[in-house]
Amino acid sequence: MNYGLAYALGFHPWEDAEKQPSFTGKLAELMEEEEESGRQPPYGPALDLGTGSGIWGIKLAERGWQVTGIDIVEKALRQARERARETGVAMRVLHADVTALRVADVGSDFKLVLDTGTFHGLTTSQRETMGREVSAVAADEATVLMLAWAPRRRGPLPRGASRSEIEEAFPGWSVTDVGATGFEAPKPVELLMRPNERWYRLQRG
């Protein structure tokens, strides 16, 4: 998928979900019940893959995570930096590709990696490379929270990913399907793409 074109056209349903309590509530629930349960902030370093304009990375920072957000779309990155300044949170924003995290020097020992829609739009070889790169920069006890549409032919739009495809790209990780995201797509988007989004949790071992 051409994300640069998508942002130029203003097509970014993965960010529009910010206005949906069903989606934001589910994400907050996942964080509170697992990643933050029994702990106090600061929670540690988090990596927001495909941060876009920074919406979800900023929400993590507001919760007490030390966030690095990456993307390849300069327009989105400019928006992310401006949004972080306006919100008043400390969030590192970098131009980096998910298939070359170490080259971009994004950091290491991330306790949380968030993907709200990057993996499921990649080719098979890109997914394998992303899996290796994430494994290289994540802490031993890290969690990956990944949003993925159900697999389906969608032309130039994200084709989605199954649990088995995620497992193949992340050997050495345990993958759990943790359920629907609560995202409510606009009718035209729902009819065209039938996203059937789900959250997956990946943990080492």
pLDDT, tens digit, 9 for 90 and up, residues 62-109? 999 999 999 999 999 999 999 999 999 999 999 999 999 999 999 999
User: Model confidence at 196, in pLDDT bands (50, 70, 90)?
Assistant: confident
* Residue of higher predicted confidence among 193 and 161: 161
Q: Taking 60 as the threshold, does the pLDDT of residue 150 lie above it?
A: yes
Q: Could you tell me whether strands 173-180 and 110-115 are parallel, antiparallel, or unpaired per DSSP bridges? A: unpaired
pLDDT of residue 144: 98
* Residue of higher predicted confidence among 34 and 191: 34
Token pair of 163, please? 């649990």
pLDDT of residue 26: 93
Q: Taking 70 as the threshold, does the pLDDT of residue 2 lie above it?
A: no
The pairs formed by 91-95 with CB atoms below 8 angstroms and a separation of 24 or more are 91/54, 91/57, 91/58, 91/61, 91/67, 92/67, 92/68, 93/51, 93/54, 93/57, 93/68, 93/69, 94/68, 94/69, 94/70, 95/70, 95/71
User: Model confidence at 128, in pLDDT bands (50, 70, 90)?
Assistant: very high
Asked if residues 161 and 148 have their Cβ atoms less than 8 Å apart, the reply is yes
